A = this chain, B = another copy of it.
Amino acid sequence: MKKLLLLMLAAMTATISTQAQTKRSADFKAKYQLKEVVVMSRHNIRSPLASGGATYMRVTPYEWFKWTSPGSQLSLRGGVLETEMGQFFRKWLVGEGLLPDNYRPDGDDVLFYANSRQRTFATAKYFSAGFLPFANVEIKHKYEEDKMDPLFTPQFTKMNDTYRQQVLAEINAMHNGPQAWMQSVQPTLTLVEEIIDMAHSPAAQNDTTHFWYDDTQFTLEKGDEPKMTGGFKLANSVADALVLQCYESESLSAFGHELTQEQWRAICGIKEVYDALLFTTHSAAVNLAYPLVSRIREELHHDRRKFTFLCGHDSNLASIGAALRLVYPETEQALELHTPIGSKLVFEKWSNGTDEYVAINLVYQSVSQLQNRTLLSVEEPPMILPVTIEGLTANSDGLYRLSDLDARMAETMTEYDAIKDTEASAIPAPATTIPSGSARSYTLSGTLAPNSYRGIVIEQGHKTARTKY
Protein backbone atom coordinates (compact mmCIF):
# COMPACT_ATOMS: atom_id res chain seq x y z
CA MET A 1 0.00 0.00 0.00
CA LYS A 2 2.81 2.34 0.94
CA LYS A 3 4.60 1.31 -2.24
CA LEU A 4 1.52 2.14 -4.29
CA LEU A 5 1.34 5.55 -2.64
CA LEU A 6 4.97 6.20 -3.45
CA LEU A 7 4.37 5.15 -7.04
CA MET A 8 1.42 7.49 -7.25
CA LEU A 9 3.45 10.32 -5.79
CA ALA A 10 6.23 9.60 -8.25
CA ALA A 11 3.72 9.66 -11.09
CA MET A 12 2.31 12.98 -9.88
CA THR A 13 5.78 14.45 -9.59
CA ALA A 14 6.54 13.26 -13.09
CA THR A 15 3.40 14.94 -14.39
CA ILE A 16 4.29 18.20 -12.68
CA SER A 17 7.87 18.15 -13.88
CA THR A 18 6.89 17.43 -17.46
CA GLN A 19 4.87 20.64 -17.46
CA ALA A 20 7.61 22.51 -15.69
CA GLN A 21 8.00 25.21 -18.30
CA THR A 22 4.40 26.37 -18.24
CA LYS A 23 3.29 25.22 -14.82
CA ARG A 24 5.76 26.81 -12.45
CA SER A 25 4.27 27.64 -9.08
CA ALA A 26 3.56 31.10 -7.72
CA ASP A 27 6.26 30.46 -5.10
CA PHE A 28 8.74 29.73 -7.85
CA LYS A 29 7.79 32.87 -9.74
CA ALA A 30 8.08 34.97 -6.60
CA LYS A 31 11.60 33.68 -6.11
CA TYR A 32 12.98 33.63 -9.65
CA GLN A 33 12.81 35.86 -12.66
CA LEU A 34 13.28 34.60 -16.21
CA LYS A 35 16.15 36.55 -17.77
CA GLU A 36 16.79 34.87 -21.09
CA VAL A 37 15.82 31.94 -23.28
CA VAL A 38 18.06 30.22 -25.82
CA VAL A 39 16.29 27.84 -28.20
CA MET A 40 18.25 25.32 -30.21
CA SER A 41 15.69 24.10 -32.71
CA ARG A 42 15.48 21.25 -35.13
CA HIS A 43 13.62 22.17 -38.36
CA ASN A 44 10.01 21.08 -38.72
CA ILE A 45 8.48 18.58 -41.20
CA ARG A 46 10.36 18.37 -44.49
CA SER A 47 10.18 16.27 -47.61
CA PRO A 48 12.55 13.30 -47.64
CA LEU A 49 16.14 14.26 -48.32
CA ALA A 50 16.81 14.53 -52.02
CA SER A 51 20.04 12.56 -51.74
CA GLY A 52 18.17 9.45 -50.62
CA GLY A 53 15.37 10.18 -53.05
CA ALA A 54 15.85 7.68 -55.81
CA THR A 55 16.51 4.83 -53.41
CA TYR A 56 13.66 5.23 -50.95
CA MET A 57 11.30 5.38 -53.92
CA ARG A 58 12.72 2.32 -55.64
CA VAL A 59 12.32 -0.09 -52.73
CA THR A 60 8.53 0.01 -52.82
CA PRO A 61 5.93 -0.50 -55.55
CA TYR A 62 3.76 2.15 -53.83
CA GLU A 63 3.56 5.85 -54.57
CA TRP A 64 4.76 7.90 -51.64
CA PHE A 65 2.63 10.73 -50.32
CA LYS A 66 2.77 13.71 -52.65
CA TRP A 67 5.03 16.02 -50.66
CA THR A 68 4.15 19.70 -50.61
CA SER A 69 7.77 20.82 -50.99
CA PRO A 70 10.80 19.89 -53.08
CA GLY A 71 13.14 17.27 -51.60
CA SER A 72 14.60 18.20 -48.19
CA GLN A 73 12.58 21.42 -47.91
CA LEU A 74 10.07 22.40 -45.24
CA SER A 75 6.54 21.24 -46.05
CA LEU A 76 3.45 23.46 -45.91
CA ARG A 77 2.43 21.65 -42.74
CA GLY A 78 5.90 22.10 -41.28
CA GLY A 79 5.61 25.85 -41.81
CA VAL A 80 2.21 26.09 -40.17
CA LEU A 81 3.34 23.95 -37.22
CA GLU A 82 6.31 26.19 -36.67
CA THR A 83 4.12 29.32 -36.78
CA GLU A 84 1.99 27.73 -34.09
CA MET A 85 5.07 26.88 -32.03
CA GLY A 86 6.23 30.51 -32.33
CA GLN A 87 2.84 31.61 -31.05
CA PHE A 88 3.19 29.32 -28.05
CA PHE A 89 6.63 30.69 -27.20
CA ARG A 90 5.25 34.26 -27.43
CA LYS A 91 2.34 33.51 -25.14
CA TRP A 92 4.61 31.69 -22.70
CA LEU A 93 7.30 34.38 -22.55
CA VAL A 94 4.78 37.22 -22.37
CA GLY A 95 3.23 35.36 -19.45
CA GLU A 96 6.65 35.07 -17.81
CA GLY A 97 7.23 38.79 -18.25
CA LEU A 98 10.37 38.30 -20.34
CA LEU A 99 8.97 40.17 -23.33
CA PRO A 100 5.88 42.33 -23.76
CA ASP A 101 3.18 41.16 -26.15
CA ASN A 102 3.69 42.39 -29.71
CA TYR A 103 7.33 43.08 -28.88
CA ARG A 104 9.38 44.98 -31.40
CA PRO A 105 12.99 43.97 -30.72
CA ASP A 106 15.41 46.65 -29.83
CA GLY A 107 19.10 46.31 -30.64
CA ASP A 108 20.48 42.92 -29.71
CA ASP A 109 17.56 41.75 -27.59
CA VAL A 110 16.53 39.04 -30.00
CA LEU A 111 18.56 36.89 -32.36
CA PHE A 112 17.32 34.52 -35.02
CA TYR A 113 20.15 32.60 -36.66
CA ALA A 114 19.48 29.67 -38.95
CA ASN A 115 21.49 27.25 -41.00
CA SER A 116 21.31 28.40 -44.62
CA ARG A 117 19.36 25.36 -45.78
CA GLN A 118 15.82 26.12 -46.90
CA ARG A 119 14.22 23.98 -44.20
CA THR A 120 16.11 25.58 -41.33
CA PHE A 121 15.77 29.16 -42.55
CA ALA A 122 12.08 28.67 -43.26
CA THR A 123 11.55 27.07 -39.84
CA ALA A 124 13.04 30.16 -38.21
CA LYS A 125 11.02 32.45 -40.48
CA TYR A 126 7.68 30.79 -39.73
CA PHE A 127 8.50 30.62 -36.01
CA SER A 128 9.36 34.32 -35.98
CA ALA A 129 5.99 35.25 -37.51
CA GLY A 130 4.14 33.59 -34.65
CA PHE A 131 6.65 34.83 -32.10
CA LEU A 132 6.96 38.47 -33.21
CA PRO A 133 3.90 39.14 -35.37
CA PHE A 134 4.14 42.92 -34.95
CA ALA A 135 7.83 43.28 -35.81
CA ASN A 136 10.24 43.05 -38.67
CA VAL A 137 13.00 40.70 -37.59
CA GLU A 138 15.86 39.43 -39.69
CA ILE A 139 16.65 35.74 -39.87
CA LYS A 140 20.42 35.82 -39.93
CA HIS A 141 22.08 33.27 -42.19
CA LYS A 142 25.42 32.96 -43.85
CA TYR A 143 24.73 31.67 -47.34
CA GLU A 144 22.09 32.47 -49.91
CA GLU A 145 22.58 29.18 -51.68
CA ASP A 146 20.85 26.62 -49.45
CA LYS A 147 24.28 25.44 -48.24
CA MET A 148 25.38 24.12 -44.86
CA ASP A 149 26.71 26.78 -42.50
CA PRO A 150 29.75 25.40 -40.59
CA LEU A 151 28.05 26.45 -37.32
CA PHE A 152 25.28 23.92 -37.97
CA THR A 153 27.31 21.25 -39.76
CA PRO A 154 27.97 18.35 -37.36
CA GLN A 155 31.38 17.74 -38.87
CA PHE A 156 34.78 16.84 -37.56
CA THR A 157 36.94 19.94 -37.59
CA LYS A 158 39.86 17.98 -36.12
CA MET A 159 40.92 14.43 -36.79
CA ASN A 160 43.79 12.06 -36.07
CA ASP A 161 44.08 8.29 -36.06
CA THR A 162 44.09 7.88 -32.29
CA TYR A 163 41.02 10.03 -31.96
CA ARG A 164 39.30 8.19 -34.81
CA GLN A 165 39.93 4.86 -33.10
CA GLN A 166 38.57 6.30 -29.87
CA VAL A 167 35.35 7.32 -31.59
CA LEU A 168 35.10 3.90 -33.25
CA ALA A 169 35.68 2.25 -29.91
CA GLU A 170 32.83 4.24 -28.40
CA ILE A 171 30.62 3.37 -31.35
CA ASN A 172 31.46 -0.29 -30.77
CA ALA A 173 30.64 0.04 -27.10
CA MET A 174 27.12 1.37 -27.71
CA HIS A 175 24.45 -1.29 -27.21
CA ASN A 176 27.01 -4.08 -27.71
CA GLY A 177 28.21 -2.66 -30.97
CA PRO A 178 26.53 -1.59 -34.18
CA GLN A 179 25.92 -5.08 -35.52
CA ALA A 180 24.24 -6.29 -32.34
CA TRP A 181 22.21 -3.09 -32.09
CA MET A 182 21.14 -3.32 -35.71
CA GLN A 183 20.29 -7.00 -35.22
CA SER A 184 18.06 -6.05 -32.33
CA VAL A 185 15.85 -4.06 -34.69
CA GLN A 186 15.67 -6.87 -37.25
CA PRO A 187 11.96 -7.50 -36.51
CA THR A 188 11.27 -3.86 -37.35
CA LEU A 189 13.34 -4.05 -40.53
CA THR A 190 11.23 -7.05 -41.52
CA LEU A 191 8.08 -5.14 -40.66
CA VAL A 192 9.19 -2.22 -42.85
CA GLU A 193 9.98 -4.61 -45.70
CA GLU A 194 6.40 -5.85 -45.43
CA ILE A 195 4.86 -2.38 -45.11
CA ILE A 196 6.55 -1.08 -48.22
CA ASP A 197 6.17 -4.45 -49.98
CA MET A 198 9.83 -4.46 -50.86
CA ALA A 199 9.44 -7.89 -52.48
CA HIS A 200 7.41 -6.32 -55.29
CA SER A 201 9.42 -3.15 -55.66
CA PRO A 202 11.44 -2.10 -58.70
CA ALA A 203 14.53 -2.79 -56.60
CA ALA A 204 13.41 -6.37 -56.04
CA GLN A 205 13.93 -7.13 -59.70
CA ASN A 206 17.59 -6.79 -58.95
CA ASP A 207 17.40 -9.00 -55.88
CA THR A 208 17.29 -6.35 -53.17
CA THR A 209 14.31 -7.55 -51.20
CA HIS A 210 15.82 -7.02 -47.77
CA PHE A 211 17.62 -4.38 -45.78
CA TRP A 212 21.09 -5.85 -45.36
CA TYR A 213 23.26 -4.32 -42.70
CA ASP A 214 26.26 -6.59 -42.31
CA ASP A 215 28.04 -4.35 -44.81
CA THR A 216 28.01 -1.29 -42.58
CA GLN A 217 31.07 0.91 -42.73
CA PHE A 218 31.86 4.19 -41.04
CA THR A 219 33.72 7.14 -42.44
CA LEU A 220 35.13 9.61 -39.97
CA GLU A 221 37.04 12.33 -41.74
CA LYS A 222 38.04 15.87 -41.04
CA GLY A 223 35.80 18.46 -42.71
CA ASP A 224 32.97 16.00 -43.07
CA GLU A 225 30.03 14.68 -41.09
CA PRO A 226 30.44 11.16 -39.70
CA LYS A 227 28.96 8.80 -42.24
CA MET A 228 27.67 5.29 -42.42
CA THR A 229 27.38 3.31 -45.64
CA GLY A 230 25.57 0.10 -46.36
CA GLY A 231 22.07 -1.28 -46.19
CA PHE A 232 21.22 0.22 -42.82
CA LYS A 233 21.54 3.67 -44.30
CA LEU A 234 18.83 2.74 -46.78
CA ALA A 235 16.68 1.42 -43.93
CA ASN A 236 17.17 4.77 -42.19
CA SER A 237 16.06 6.69 -45.32
CA VAL A 238 12.95 4.57 -45.66
CA ALA A 239 12.08 4.91 -41.96
CA ASP A 240 12.54 8.67 -42.31
CA ALA A 241 10.28 8.88 -45.37
CA LEU A 242 7.66 6.69 -43.67
CA VAL A 243 7.39 8.82 -40.56
CA LEU A 244 7.25 12.04 -42.59
CA GLN A 245 4.48 10.53 -44.69
CA CYS A 246 2.67 9.62 -41.47
CA TYR A 247 2.69 13.25 -40.34
CA GLU A 248 1.76 14.62 -43.73
CA SER A 249 -1.00 12.14 -44.44
CA GLU A 250 -2.64 12.66 -41.03
CA SER A 251 -2.89 8.90 -40.69
CA LEU A 252 -1.15 6.25 -38.61
CA SER A 253 -1.51 3.72 -41.39
CA ALA A 254 1.09 3.27 -44.09
CA PHE A 255 0.40 1.89 -47.55
CA GLY A 256 -2.74 0.22 -46.25
CA HIS A 257 -1.14 -1.28 -43.14
CA GLU A 258 -2.75 -0.17 -39.91
CA LEU A 259 0.11 0.50 -37.51
CA THR A 260 0.07 1.12 -33.79
CA GLN A 261 1.91 4.01 -32.21
CA GLU A 262 4.30 1.37 -30.76
CA GLN A 263 5.08 0.09 -34.24
CA TRP A 264 5.76 3.65 -35.37
CA ARG A 265 8.12 4.12 -32.45
CA ALA A 266 9.88 0.92 -33.47
CA ILE A 267 10.26 2.26 -37.01
CA CYS A 268 11.69 5.47 -35.58
CA GLY A 269 14.00 3.22 -33.58
CA ILE A 270 15.79 2.45 -36.86
CA LYS A 271 16.58 6.13 -37.21
CA GLU A 272 17.56 6.22 -33.56
CA VAL A 273 20.26 3.58 -34.10
CA TYR A 274 21.56 5.38 -37.17
CA ASP A 275 21.66 8.84 -35.57
CA ALA A 276 22.98 7.65 -32.23
CA LEU A 277 25.89 5.72 -33.76
CA LEU A 278 26.95 8.69 -35.83
CA PHE A 279 26.32 11.64 -33.56
CA THR A 280 26.11 10.62 -29.90
CA THR A 281 29.38 9.09 -28.86
CA HIS A 282 30.82 11.63 -26.47
CA SER A 283 34.18 11.65 -28.21
CA ALA A 284 32.65 12.47 -31.57
CA ALA A 285 30.11 14.90 -30.09
CA VAL A 286 32.65 17.25 -28.46
CA ASN A 287 34.10 17.68 -31.94
CA LEU A 288 30.86 17.79 -33.95
CA ALA A 289 29.00 20.11 -31.56
CA TYR A 290 31.89 22.39 -30.67
CA PRO A 291 30.73 25.45 -32.67
CA LEU A 292 27.17 25.27 -31.33
CA VAL A 293 28.13 24.54 -27.73
CA SER A 294 30.44 27.50 -27.96
CA ARG A 295 27.68 29.66 -29.44
CA ILE A 296 25.04 28.64 -26.91
CA ARG A 297 27.52 29.39 -24.14
CA GLU A 298 28.14 32.85 -25.57
CA GLU A 299 24.41 33.46 -25.90
CA LEU A 300 23.80 32.53 -22.27
CA HIS A 301 26.39 35.12 -21.25
CA HIS A 302 25.24 37.82 -23.67
CA ASP A 303 24.59 41.04 -21.76
CA ARG A 304 21.57 42.19 -23.68
CA ARG A 305 20.10 39.08 -25.22
CA LYS A 306 16.65 38.00 -24.09
CA PHE A 307 15.79 35.47 -26.75
CA THR A 308 17.91 33.45 -29.15
CA PHE A 309 16.58 31.06 -31.78
CA LEU A 310 19.16 28.86 -33.47
CA CYS A 311 17.82 26.55 -36.14
CA GLY A 312 19.56 23.42 -37.29
CA HIS A 313 19.05 19.68 -37.38
CA ASP A 314 18.41 16.67 -35.17
CA SER A 315 22.08 15.83 -35.53
CA ASN A 316 22.79 19.16 -33.81
CA LEU A 317 20.49 18.33 -30.91
CA ALA A 318 21.94 14.83 -30.67
CA SER A 319 25.57 15.95 -30.64
CA ILE A 320 25.02 18.90 -28.29
CA GLY A 321 23.29 16.55 -25.88
CA ALA A 322 26.09 13.98 -26.07
CA ALA A 323 28.81 16.61 -25.78
CA LEU A 324 27.27 18.17 -22.66
CA ARG A 325 26.09 14.82 -21.28
CA LEU A 326 22.51 16.01 -21.25
CA VAL A 327 19.99 13.30 -20.52
CA TYR A 328 17.18 13.64 -23.00
CA PRO A 329 13.87 12.27 -21.76
CA GLU A 330 12.27 9.36 -23.50
CA THR A 331 9.54 11.17 -25.42
CA GLU A 332 5.82 10.77 -24.80
CA GLN A 333 3.12 11.08 -27.46
CA ALA A 334 5.80 11.16 -30.12
CA LEU A 335 6.97 8.72 -32.74
CA GLU A 336 10.63 9.64 -32.40
CA LEU A 337 12.29 8.41 -29.20
CA HIS A 338 14.37 11.47 -28.38
CA THR A 339 14.25 14.50 -30.67
CA PRO A 340 10.93 14.56 -32.53
CA ILE A 341 10.52 16.62 -35.69
CA GLY A 342 10.58 20.35 -34.88
CA SER A 343 12.04 19.70 -31.38
CA LYS A 344 13.43 22.59 -29.42
CA LEU A 345 16.14 22.26 -26.82
CA VAL A 346 15.26 25.20 -24.58
CA PHE A 347 17.74 26.74 -22.18
CA GLU A 348 16.03 29.04 -19.67
CA LYS A 349 18.18 31.41 -17.63
CA TRP A 350 16.67 32.34 -14.28
CA SER A 351 17.86 34.71 -11.58
CA ASN A 352 16.88 34.98 -7.94
CA GLY A 353 18.59 38.35 -7.67
CA THR A 354 21.94 36.96 -6.51
CA ASP A 355 22.59 33.82 -8.51
CA GLU A 356 21.81 32.64 -11.99
CA TYR A 357 20.24 29.29 -12.75
CA VAL A 358 19.29 27.27 -15.75
CA ALA A 359 16.54 24.87 -16.67
CA ILE A 360 16.58 22.84 -19.87
CA ASN A 361 13.48 21.45 -21.53
CA LEU A 362 12.74 19.55 -24.68
CA VAL A 363 9.69 21.09 -26.38
CA TYR A 364 7.95 19.46 -29.31
CA GLN A 365 4.53 18.88 -30.83
CA SER A 366 2.79 15.59 -30.06
CA VAL A 367 1.76 13.31 -32.93
CA SER A 368 -1.78 14.54 -32.55
CA GLN A 369 -0.66 18.19 -32.59
CA LEU A 370 1.45 17.54 -35.68
CA GLN A 371 -1.35 15.79 -37.52
CA ASN A 372 -4.13 18.19 -36.44
CA ARG A 373 -2.05 21.36 -36.67
CA THR A 374 -3.33 22.24 -33.20
CA LEU A 375 -3.20 25.87 -32.09
CA LEU A 376 -0.85 26.12 -29.11
CA SER A 377 -0.99 28.34 -26.07
CA VAL A 378 -0.01 28.23 -22.42
CA GLU A 379 -3.35 26.54 -21.74
CA GLU A 380 -2.84 24.10 -24.62
CA PRO A 381 0.93 23.73 -24.68
CA PRO A 382 3.12 21.52 -26.82
CA MET A 383 4.88 18.60 -25.10
CA ILE A 384 7.44 19.86 -22.59
CA LEU A 385 9.81 17.36 -20.98
CA PRO A 386 12.68 18.24 -18.68
CA VAL A 387 16.23 17.53 -19.73
CA THR A 388 18.64 16.67 -16.95
CA ILE A 389 22.39 17.03 -16.85
CA GLU A 390 24.36 13.89 -16.00
CA GLY A 391 26.54 14.42 -12.94
CA LEU A 392 24.96 17.73 -11.92
CA THR A 393 22.35 18.12 -9.25
CA ALA A 394 19.38 20.44 -9.58
CA ASN A 395 18.33 22.48 -6.57
CA SER A 396 15.02 21.93 -4.78
CA ASP A 397 13.30 24.17 -7.35
CA GLY A 398 14.52 21.95 -10.17
CA LEU A 399 17.13 24.41 -11.43
CA TYR A 400 20.81 23.92 -12.16
CA ARG A 401 23.33 26.59 -11.34
CA LEU A 402 24.31 28.37 -14.52
CA SER A 403 27.93 28.26 -13.35
CA ASP A 404 27.73 24.45 -13.23
CA LEU A 405 26.41 24.25 -16.78
CA ASP A 406 29.02 26.76 -17.82
CA ALA A 407 31.76 24.61 -16.28
CA ARG A 408 30.36 21.62 -18.17
CA MET A 409 30.48 23.59 -21.39
CA ALA A 410 34.04 24.67 -20.65
CA GLU A 411 35.00 21.01 -20.04
CA THR A 412 33.69 19.88 -23.41
CA MET A 413 35.47 22.75 -25.07
CA THR A 414 38.69 21.72 -23.33
CA GLU A 415 38.13 18.18 -24.55
CA TYR A 416 37.83 19.56 -28.07
CA ASP A 417 40.98 21.63 -27.61
CA ALA A 418 42.81 18.48 -26.52
CA ILE A 419 42.09 16.70 -29.80
CA LYS A 420 45.25 16.85 -31.88
CA ASP A 421 44.57 17.80 -35.43
CA THR A 422 46.75 15.68 -37.65
CA GLU A 423 46.19 13.60 -40.70
CA ALA A 424 49.29 11.45 -40.07
CA SER A 425 48.53 7.89 -39.08
CA ALA A 426 50.19 7.05 -35.78
CA ILE A 427 48.56 3.67 -35.60
CA PRO A 428 49.67 0.66 -37.59
CA ALA A 429 47.26 0.20 -40.45
CA PRO A 430 45.19 -2.99 -40.42
CA ALA A 431 45.98 -5.66 -42.93
CA THR A 432 44.28 -3.82 -45.76
CA THR A 433 45.44 -1.08 -48.00
CA ILE A 434 44.28 2.41 -47.14
CA PRO A 435 42.57 3.72 -50.25
CA SER A 436 44.76 6.55 -51.39
CA GLY A 437 43.29 9.91 -52.17
CA SER A 438 39.88 9.08 -50.76
CA ALA A 439 38.19 8.93 -47.38
CA ARG A 440 38.83 5.84 -45.34
CA SER A 441 36.07 3.48 -44.33
CA TYR A 442 36.03 1.37 -41.21
CA THR A 443 34.23 -1.87 -40.60
CA LEU A 444 32.01 -2.56 -37.64
CA SER A 445 35.00 -3.80 -35.69
CA GLY A 446 36.86 -0.56 -36.18
CA THR A 447 39.35 -1.83 -38.71
CA LEU A 448 39.93 -0.26 -42.08
CA ALA A 449 37.51 -1.67 -44.60
CA PRO A 450 38.94 -3.42 -47.65
CA ASN A 451 38.41 -1.79 -51.00
CA SER A 452 36.04 -4.47 -52.06
CA TYR A 453 33.31 -5.23 -49.61
CA ARG A 454 29.90 -6.83 -49.66
CA GLY A 455 27.17 -4.29 -50.38
CA ILE A 456 24.43 -3.23 -52.71
CA VAL A 457 23.96 0.10 -54.42
CA ILE A 458 20.63 0.65 -56.13
CA GLU A 459 21.18 3.18 -58.81
CA GLN A 460 19.53 3.97 -62.13
CA GLY A 461 17.48 0.82 -61.98
CA HIS A 462 20.52 -1.40 -61.61
CA LYS A 463 21.99 -3.18 -58.67
CA THR A 464 25.72 -2.93 -58.55
CA ALA A 465 28.03 -4.64 -56.15
CA ARG A 466 29.72 -1.89 -54.17
CA THR A 467 33.47 -2.00 -54.48
CA LYS A 468 34.22 1.36 -52.95
CA TYR A 469 32.44 3.00 -50.11
Residues of A within 8 A of B (CB): 68, 70, 73-74, 76-77, 79-80, 83-84, 87, 91, 101-102, 104, 118, 121-122, 125-126, 128-130, 132-136, 138-139, 144, 146, 373, 375-377
Contact of A126 among B73, B133, B146 (CB under 8 A): B133
Specify which of A138, A139, A375, A377 lies most central, judged by the most chain B CB atoms within 10 Å of its CB: A375
Closest chain B residue, CB of each to CB of A75:
B375
For residue A68, which residues in chain B have a CB less than 8 angstroms away from its CB?
Answer: 375, 377
Bound complex: CA of A70 vs CA of B70, how far in Å? 38
Contact A125 B118 (CB under 8 A): no
For residue A101, which residues in chain B have a CB less than 8 angstroms away from its CB?
Answer: 70
Bound complex: CA of A125 vs CA of B76, how far in Å? 17
Contact A122 B139 (CB under 8 A): no
Contact B375 A129 (CB under 8 A): no
Contact of A144 among B84, B104, B133 (CB under 8 A): B104
Bound complex: CA of A231 vs CA of B376, how far in Å? 37
Bound complex: CA of A373 vs CA of B77, how far in Å? 11
For residue A376, which residues in chain B have a CB less than 8 angstroms away from its CB?
Answer: 76
CB distance from A137 to the nearest CB of B (A): 8
Closest chain B residue, CB of each to CB of A69:
B101
Bound complex: CA of A134 vs CA of B79, how far in Å? 11
Contact A126 B125 (CB under 8 A): no
For residue A377, which residues in chain B have a CB less than 8 angstroms away from its CB?
Answer: 68, 76
Specify which of A76, A375, A376 lies most central, judged by the most chain B CB atoms within 10 Å of its CB: A76
Contact B83 A79 (CB under 8 A): yes
Contact B375 A126 (CB under 8 A): no
Decide: A79 near B122, CB < 8 A? Known: A104-B144, A373-B375, A377-B68.
no
For residue A74, which residues in chain B have a CB less than 8 angstroms away from its CB?
Answer: 133
For residue A122, which residues in chain B have a CB less than 8 angstroms away from its CB?
Answer: 133-134
Contact A102 B80 (CB under 8 A): no
Bound complex: CA of A144 vs CA of B84, how far in Å? 25
Contact B133 A136 (CB under 8 A): no
Bound complex: CA of A102 vs CA of B125, how far in Å? 12
A-B contact pairs, 26 of them (CB 8 A): A68-B375, A73-B102, A76-B87, A76-B91, A76-B130, A76-B375, A76-B376, A79-B87, A79-B130, A80-B83, A80-B87, A80-B373, A80-B375, A102-B118, A102-B146, A118-B133, A118-B134, A121-B133, A125-B132, A125-B133, A125-B134, A126-B129, A126-B130, A129-B129, A136-B138, A136-B139
For residue A118, which residues in chain B have a CB less than 8 angstroms away from its CB?
Answer: 102, 133-134
Contact A126 B76 (CB under 8 A): no
Closest chain B residue, CB of each to CB of A88:
B76
For residue A77, which residues in chain B have a CB less than 8 angstroms away from its CB?
Answer: 375
For residue A102, which residues in chain B have a CB less than 8 angstroms away from its CB?
Answer: 73, 118, 146
For residue A84, which residues in chain B have a CB less than 8 angstroms away from its CB?
Answer: 76, 80
CB distance from A184 to the nearest CB of B (A): 38
